[in-house]
């Protein structure tokens, strides 16, 4: 909480710091839910627009799934994946990005807030600015993306020939959470770019939405070079590709070590920490555009 | 007419201000183009010919689509014509006071915008495609002129649809839901998400006749010289595009008349 005030007024006496970081996190979470709920009630005032929005998003998710089916229908198999296995990869990617968009999607509007000055308003409020930014214009319409993705995942998990050991059953939620965490971190990192380049929103989209487009297919089809860069540089391979390899018990067709598929949770933690650090760095170097 | 030329020039000039956004936009279009192209290349590696399309055709269509994204604004899920917001806020009253038609004013301005973004965002995106993939180029100067004419008609169709979406605000008050549905369904039925040639042929033939195909699929097939074009030739296809442009603009003019008889602006 103290960090909220310090960039705005560095000379101010330190606000009482919450001693327990867990309690601070709990408080931030509670504020997040409260603010998100406030925005939900606001958008519910236009029920027609909200339902059209949600319906449109669900429709486009179905169209994307249709595209995956059409593509696999023509090709038979891609990178050794059948249509159901391809759908599994799609669903893992769509669910992870859908969750990130649901929780953190508004962060890519940082540039607008900086330009119009509303980011300054966020800084003087006693709520972490990231929470305010992430909940700004939070809308339940994003469920229109999440629900079809979840349905596709359940369908793909049933349709694919998966050897359900206890390990896989326990690992599945862990993989889903780490995939969502990787995507959310990428979203925050891309958003932070706008601290330094105000017009960068579209460039950030090429990482966020581009990342989703990239991971919707088995990434082996893009060739070794790209697989290595999305494994080791921008670790999007841990969103859908490595989890799918693990669930289907496949060797990696690009020849990377099999141990990688267990690294998802670790990658998620490291990336989340990196996102937090970059956010903090951006916040400290932020200078208001003035009146 | 002189007014329209001036408004066109203003539209062109106005969009030349946002240079960083232009570079960022071209980058995004190139990244998406490359991803889509690589997926399609993988498909065509498994099956070299699908409904008359080969890998080069598919990749070319991907980059035609990406180059025209900023011209037709077909993927935008937020209102992409300022008129929409002006109808909502009532500023449209100022537009209606002008001694030129609402439609002509906005058409001129939007074509100015489209011209600028085509040359400074669309062409660079297409060049990235040329560098990275085997993208097909027009066969000669005549073919090139026909392709450019098709792109121009795509811009007019794109404007006419967005003008109609904006005008719906006179009746719906909040048009954002409509824009979202349009921005999400448009890319699917226009051949932007996947070339229509990959769809079942009956569906593809129906979609080719709808106005959305005139913004991606038809221009791409004109560039590729396909015989699946409506009317079987480039001229038939251009005629279809022109017919949609004319019909949608006529509908826009009619709707403007209805709306202006209905509108009540408060204050004074």
pLDDT digits (tens, 9 = 90+) for A98-109: 999 999 988 988
Is B11:B107 a contact under the CB 8 Å cutoff? no
For A130-177, the pLDDT digits (tens) are 999 999 989 888 899 999 999 999 999 999 989 999 999 999 999 999
Average pLDDT over residues A258-278: 94
Determine how many CB atoms are found less than 10 A away from the CB of residue B14.
13
The alpha-carbon radius of gyration of chain A (Å, integer) is 20
CB burial readout B26-45, b (16+ within 10 A) else e: bbbbbbbbbbbbbbbbbbbe
Q: Which residues of B touch A209 (CB under 8 A)?
A: 32
What is the predicted ipTM?
Answer: 0.83
Residue B90 C-beta-side C-alpha neighbours within 13 Å: 5
pLDDT band at A290; cut points 50, 70, 90: low
| Token pair in block for residue A138 | 């939070």
Percent of chain B with pLDDT over 70: 98
Instruction: In whole angstroms, give the CA distance from residue B195 to residue B188.
Output: 9
pLDDT band at A66; cut points 50, 70, 90: very high
Average pLDDT over residues B59-83: 92
Smallest Cβ–Cβ distance between A206 and the set B28, B39, B184 belongs to B28
Give the mean pLDDT of chain B.
91
Tell me what pLDDT residue A2 has: 41
Per the listing, tokens 């070319």 go with B60
- What DSSP state is assigned to residue A13? P
Chain B residue with CA closest to A60: the answer is B184
Tell me what pLDDT residue A5 has: 40
Instruction: In whole angstroms, give the CA distance from residue B191 to residue A285.
Output: 44
Among B147, B160, B230, smallest CA distance to B196 is for B230
Tell me what pLDDT residue A170 has: 94
pLDDT at A229 over 70: yes
Per the listing, tokens 């097939």 go with B221
Average pLDDT over residues A75-94: 93
A244 Cβ neighbours under 8 A, 6+ residues apart: A81, A85, A88, A89, A92, A218, A250
For B251-266, the pLDDT digits (tens) are 999 999 998 887 766 6
| Token pair in block for residue B192 | 């932007």
Is A179:A247 a contact under the CB 8 Å cutoff? no
For B10-49, the pLDDT digits (tens) are 999 988 887 888 888 999 999 999 999 999 999 999 999 9
Strands (E), chain B: none
Instruction: In whole angstroms, give the CA distance from residue B79 to residue B177.
Output: 10
Smallest Cβ–Cβ distance between B47 and the set A50, A74, A217 belongs to A74
pLDDT at A47 over 90: no
| Token pair in block for residue A55 | 């319906």
Cβ separation of B184 and A60 shorter than 8 Å?
A: yes
3-state class (DSSP) for residue B53: strand
Portion 76-115 of A in contact with B at CB < 8 A = 76-79
Is B90:B97 a contact under the CB 8 Å cutoff? no
CB burial readout A116-143, b (16+ within 10 A) else e: eeebbebbeeebbbbbbbbbbebbbbbe
Per the listing, tokens 């390990």 go with A167
Average pLDDT over residues A230-258: 92
For B216-264, the pLDDT digits (tens) are 999 999 999 888 888 778 999 999 999 999 999 999 999 999 988 877 6
Portion 161-200 of B in contact with A at CB < 8 A = 172, 174, 176-178, 180-181, 183-185, 188, 193-194, 198-199
Least confident of A10-14, A84-88, A179-183: A10-14
Tell me what pLDDT residue A196 has: 85
- DSSP bridge partners of A81: A78
3-state class (DSSP) for residue B190: helix
Q: Which residues of B touch A64 (CB under 8 A)?
A: 193
pLDDT at B198 over 50: yes
In angstroms, how far apart are the furthest CA atoms of chain A?
66
Determine how many CB atoms are found less than 10 A away from the CB of residue A172.
17
Cβ separation of A203 and B180 shorter than 8 Å?
A: no
- DSSP bridge partners of A78: A81
Is A152:A87 a contact under the CB 8 Å cutoff? yes
How close is the nearest chain B Cα to the Cα of A50, in Å?
Answer: 7
Cβ separation of B38 and A221 shorter than 8 Å?
A: yes
| Token pair in block for residue B169 | 């605000």
Measured between CB atoms, does B58 come within 8 Å of chain A?
no
> Which residue would you say has higher pLDDT here, A17 or B93?
B93
3-state class (DSSP) for residue A208: helix
Phi and psi, residue B235, nearest 5°: -70, -40
Give the mean pLDDT of chain A.
88
């Amino acid at each position: 909480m103290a960090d909220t005030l310090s960039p705005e007024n560095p000379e101010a006496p330190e606000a009482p710091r919450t001693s327990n970081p867990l309690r601070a996190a709990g408080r931030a979470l509670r504020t997040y839910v409260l603010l998100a709920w406030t925005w939900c009630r606001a958008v519910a005032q236009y029920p027609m627009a909200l339902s059209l929005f949600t319906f449109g998003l669900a429709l486009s998710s179905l169209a994307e799934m249709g595209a995956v089916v059409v593509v696999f229908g023509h090709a038979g198999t891609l990178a050794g994946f059948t249509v159901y296995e391809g759908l599994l990869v799609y669903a893992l990617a769509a669910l992870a990005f859908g969750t990130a968009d649901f929780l953190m999607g508004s962060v890519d509007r940082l540039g607008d807030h900086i330009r119009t000055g509303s980011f300054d308003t966020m800084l003087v409020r006693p709520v972490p600015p990231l929470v305010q930014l992430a909940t700004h214009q939070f809308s339940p319409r994003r469920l229109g993306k999440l629900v079809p993705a979840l349905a596709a995942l359940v369908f793909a998990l049933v349709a694919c020939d998966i050897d359900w050991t206890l390990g896989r059953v326990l690992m599945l939620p862990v993989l889903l959470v780490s995939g969502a965490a990787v995507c959310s971190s990428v979203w925050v990192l891309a958003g932070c770019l706008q601290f330094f380049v105000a017009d960068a929103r579209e460039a950030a989209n090429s990482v966020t939405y581009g990342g989703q487009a990239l991971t919707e297919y088995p990434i082996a089809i893009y060739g070794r070079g790209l697989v290595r860069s999305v494994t080791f540089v921008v670790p999007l391979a841990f969103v859908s590709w490595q989890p799918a390899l693990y669930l289907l018990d496949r060797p990696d067709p690009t020849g990377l070590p099999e141990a990688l598929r267990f690294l998802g949770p670790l990658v998620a933690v490291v990336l989340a920490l990196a996102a937090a650090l970059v956010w903090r760095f951006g916040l400290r170097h932020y200078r208001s555009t003035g009146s | 007419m002189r007014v329209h030329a001036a408004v066109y020039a203003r539209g062109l000039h106005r969009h030349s201000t946002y240079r960083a956004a232009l570079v960022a936009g071209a980058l995004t279009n190139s990244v998406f183009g490359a991803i889509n192209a690589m997926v399609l290349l993988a498909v065509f590696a498994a099956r070299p010919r699908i409904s008359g399309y080969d890998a080069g055709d598919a990749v070319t269509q991907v980059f035609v689509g990406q180059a025209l994204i900023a011209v037709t604004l077909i993927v935008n899920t937020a209102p992409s014509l300022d008129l929409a917001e002006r109808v909502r806020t009532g500023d449209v009253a100022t537009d209606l006071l002008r001694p030129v038609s609402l439609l002509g004013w906005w058409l001129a301005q939007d074509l100015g915008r489209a011209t600028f973004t085509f040359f400074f965002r669309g062409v660079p995106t297409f060049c990235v495609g040329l560098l990275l993939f085997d993208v097909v180029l027009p066969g000669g100067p005549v073919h090139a002129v026909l392709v450019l004419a098709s792109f121009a008609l795509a811009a007019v169709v794109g404007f006419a649809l967005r003008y109609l979406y904006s005008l719906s605000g006179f009746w719906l008050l909040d048009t954002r839901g409509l824009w979202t549905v349009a921005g999400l369904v448009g890319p699917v039925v226009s051949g932007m998400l996947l070339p229509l040639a990959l769809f079942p042929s009956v569906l593809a033939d129906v979609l080719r006749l709808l106005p959305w195909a005139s913004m991606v699929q038809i221009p791409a097939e004109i560039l590729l010289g396909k015989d699946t074009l409506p009317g079987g030739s480039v001229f038939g296809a251009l005629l279809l595009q022109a017919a949609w442009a004319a019909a949608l603009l006529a509908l826009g003019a009619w709707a403007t008349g209805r709306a202006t008889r209905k509108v009540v602006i408060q204050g004074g």
